Chains A and B, each alone.
Chain A
């Protein structure tokens, strides 16, 4: 049976990518004081520039996982079309959306007997999660079934890696979305933390690097070290309103791996609210996260 591939707001898939690969997504939400926004990846309610500038000026956004109602509507919409569902969720280490989706799937079972809803915990966010959905779409296009696609993703999800750096750990700390010792959070000047995604899908601060430029170089160097088959994939480099920095990472990576394809994008509002302006993250398909962890 035909199936739909659905992600959520942390997959950071642009409209172009979603349309190209036929991927839908469930919107999370975010708020600032009494103001509520739908976490649109097309920045419908607030532009990315406005969003990140407001954070630079001190605004803080609270994020809300995908509401049950949103899942209910979106899943029903696809089930009504006659499609089964493959939902690739934001890491359970960062959001409870996967759990909500599983509970709701159980509920929907009685209304749609015999239909399938498979929920996969991506254990990552951003284009790591997004790339998994793209991969699923490619497999679907090759004629793979929902089961075959889901099984492959489950088996290979720890190979979707990230290397990121933030301007300040304060945002991640306030959002409760980083694992690091308290001394990591001390008063730092010009020292930048490097973040990977661990086996539970948490952001883990693995080391600190002197200076912004060194930290950007580090992203490229480490990505080049852990990437597999670099010429058969696109390395996605997300940035929270600092295109020059993302370009610097892309340039360095191309210097290290001539011919590598890179895709730059602006980090969406949910990931952005947690990581803060200036963040740059590189996503690629590479060695198992375990190897990456042991090497740090």
Chain B
């Protein structure tokens, strides 16, 4: 084969990286998860394309190889881009004096590329681009015999890269944690897959996709996956396209359509077989879309959110935090801070020993840290401890949801149980909780005259300190009576369903007047009984 085929191979490789840019960006977690692997590798390859455009139809000269590399390096961006440029350096250097491309010198070029890529990194990390480019070459060399053609060799490289890529999470822990393959390695697979496609007889060498070679190739637009907070469903299927539909089937149109369905799309067509991989929030739409073309040969739909949670749980089984909560808002807050199990209940709705025991057992952890939300539940928790001898139960005596939040907010839920318990206990010293609710009967309590229907203010252990016509006034009076209020640094207001937004605003202002230097925040707690529960730290 003439050496000029290298021009086609590099262009096709560049094109394939460009097409997969967004997917590569989405996969990027190592070394810095800033979502730019695809952009970086694309920029690097744009350096190659620029020189190819200048070369045009004429034959390659050794100086062209130098120019190709230099341009790749100068256009490279980011870590992945620089490493790719170094792989290209070795690859191109090995071929610069050649007049024809054969399996032998192609193998040499892949070895040279791999060595050059490794030498670009001070501390080579396995499970990355480096591993994939090395194992791809090794696989192709293993299968090398006298009948091997250039195309066979490239097929084996692609096969080897693909196998190596699948294995990257076994080599690099962070990939496993995020449940992704290595993005740089995937980029290498895109490169060699493109290079292979250039060897097809019907391959057309054209630059149309690169005409506007500017740095602003825009991404693929709408991605249903969101910013990583949502996970959705990993949907994979193989469809056998019906014969009468095959002629009119257009993979490019499908790709465009898929942009509005989800992200991380991989679409491969091999004759009538169509293979699709996509992350989507609505797998049912994907099924309906592809069912039009023919029958499914294979289907796999996995809820990645569930997967994520399971992985998360499995990783931290040594210690689990269980909390009692009586509102949807506070439940959400607790979970965001690392609480594994929530038992619903509180002041009005006391938790049974059985419920709490069940939650502790379900946690299947060696140590359980229990956070009650009132005095009575602390007692219930003590009983649970007696009944659950296989688990070490640590009770942190939080007497309100506010104290529970306070204890949770300062810990690292992945730390050791003893560190967590100590941090929680320390965090509770000097903390007070204020409650505002509506009195259901009249009387005099603690010297405060209360009429049924009044809004009463309570501090900590059921001590009524004030009564007023509206919740904000009650809170204002209550705040003044909080011990050490002048030194309070942080106040957090948890509002129930019945509290108006304007009340919350007014409450924040009211608190500010008693402790002007405190940082005041408000959150939806959704708790029962109390309109407002306030944490004073």
Q: Which residues of A come within 8 Å of B, CB atoms?
A: 34, 62-65, 67-69, 72, 92-96, 99-100, 102-104, 107, 121, 175-177, 180-191, 207-214
Q: A65-B77, A72-B74, A99-B121 are in contact. Are A183 and B337 (CB under 8 A)?
A: yes
The smallest C-beta distance from B120 to any residue of chain A, in angstroms, reads 5
User: How many A-B pairs fall under 8 Å by CB?
Assistant: 123
Contact B409 A188 (CB under 8 A): yes
| Cα distance, A265 to B385, chains bound together (Å) | 54
Q: A69-B74, A190-B519, A210-B490 are in contact. Are A99 and B413 (CB under 8 A)?
A: no
Contact A182 B77 (CB under 8 A): no
| Cα distance, A121 to B86, chains bound together (Å) | 20
Cβ contacts under 8 Å, A93 to chain B: 31
Q: A190-B537, A210-B489 are in contact. Are A183 and B78 (CB under 8 A)?
A: no
Q: Which residues of B come within 8 Å of A, CB atoms?
A: 29, 31-36, 73-79, 82-83, 85-86, 120-122, 216, 312, 332-333, 336-338, 408-414, 427, 489-492, 517-521, 523, 537
| Cα distance, A95 to B34, chains bound together (Å) | 10
Nearest 3 pairs of A and B residues by beta carbon: A183-B338, A211-B489, A96-B79
Contact B492 A64 (CB under 8 A): no
| Cα distance, A93 to B159, chains bound together (Å) | 33
Contact B120 A213 (CB under 8 A): no
Give the nearest-CB partner of B332 in chain A.
Answer: A187
Give the nearest-CB partner of A180 in chain B.
Answer: B412
Cβ contacts under 8 Å, A72 to chain B: 74
Give the nearest-CB partner of B308 in chain A.
Answer: A182
| Cα distance, A212 to B517, chains bound together (Å) | 10
The smallest C-beta distance from B376 to any residue of chain A, in angstroms, reads 27
Cβ contacts under 8 Å, A188 to chain B: 337, 409
Q: A100-B82, A181-B414 are in contact. Are A211 and B519 (CB under 8 A)?
A: yes
| Cα distance, A211 to B86, chains bound together (Å) | 48
CB<8 Å pairs between A and B, sample of 19: A65-B79, A67-B77, A68-B82, A93-B31, A100-B79, A103-B82, A103-B120, A121-B122, A175-B34, A176-B34, A176-B35, A181-B413, A183-B337, A183-B411, A186-B409, A187-B332, A189-B519, A190-B490, A210-B537
Give the nearest-CB partner of B415 in chain A.
Answer: A181
| Cα distance, A208 to B73, chains bound together (Å) | 43
Contact B333 A34 (CB under 8 A): no
| Cα distance, A189 to B333, chains bound together (Å) | 10
The smallest C-beta distance from B192 to any residue of chain A, in angstroms, reads 22
Contact A190 B74 (CB under 8 A): no
Cβ contacts under 8 Å, B490 to chain A: 189-191, 210-211
Give the nearest-CB partner of B121 in chain A.
Answer: A99
| Cα distance, A68 to B537, chains bound together (Å) | 51
Contact A94 B73 (CB under 8 A): no
The smallest C-beta distance from B22 to any residue of chain A, in angstroms, reads 15
| Cα distance, A295 to B526, chains bound together (Å) | 39
Cβ contacts under 8 Å, A68 to chain B: 73-77, 82
The smallest C-beta distance from A198 to any residue of chain B, in angstroms, reads 14
Contact A64 B78 (CB under 8 A): yes
Contact A183 B32 (CB under 8 A): no
Cβ contacts under 8 Å, A208 to chain B: 409-412
Contact A211 B523 (CB under 8 A): no
Contact A94 B338 (CB under 8 A): no
| Cα distance, A128 to B216, chains bound together (Å) | 34
Contact A190 B489 (CB under 8 A): yes
Contact A99 B74 (CB under 8 A): no
| Cα distance, A183 to B334, chains bound together (Å) | 10
| Cα distance, A4 to B82, chains bound together (Å) | 25
Contact B79 A99 (CB under 8 A): yes
Cβ contacts under 8 Å, A210 to chain B: 409-410, 427, 489-490, 537
Q: A176-B33, A210-B427 are in contact. Are A186 and B336 (CB under 8 A)?
A: yes
Contact B336 A213 (CB under 8 A): no
Contact A99 B410 (CB under 8 A): no
Cβ contacts under 8 Å, A92 to chain B: 122
Contact B336 A187 (CB under 8 A): yes
Cβ contacts under 8 Å, A63 to chain B: 34
Partner of B410, one of A177, A181, A191: A191
Contact A186 B519 (CB under 8 A): no
Q: A68-B82, A189-B523, A212-B519 are in contact. Are A99 and B489 (CB under 8 A)?
A: no
Contact B410 A183 (CB under 8 A): no
Give the nearest-CB partner of A175 in chain B.
Answer: B34
Contact B492 A189 (CB under 8 A): yes
Contact A103 B73 (CB under 8 A): yes
Partner of A99, one of B29, B34, B122: B122
Cβ contacts under 8 Å, B73 to chain A: 68, 103-104, 107
Partner of A211, one of B35, B79, B537: B537
| Cα distance, A90 to B492, chains bound together (Å) | 38
| Cα distance, A83 to B120, chains bound together (Å) | 25
Q: A65-B77, A107-B73 are in contact. Are A189 and B521 (CB under 8 A)?
A: yes
Cβ contacts under 8 Å, A34 to chain B: 216
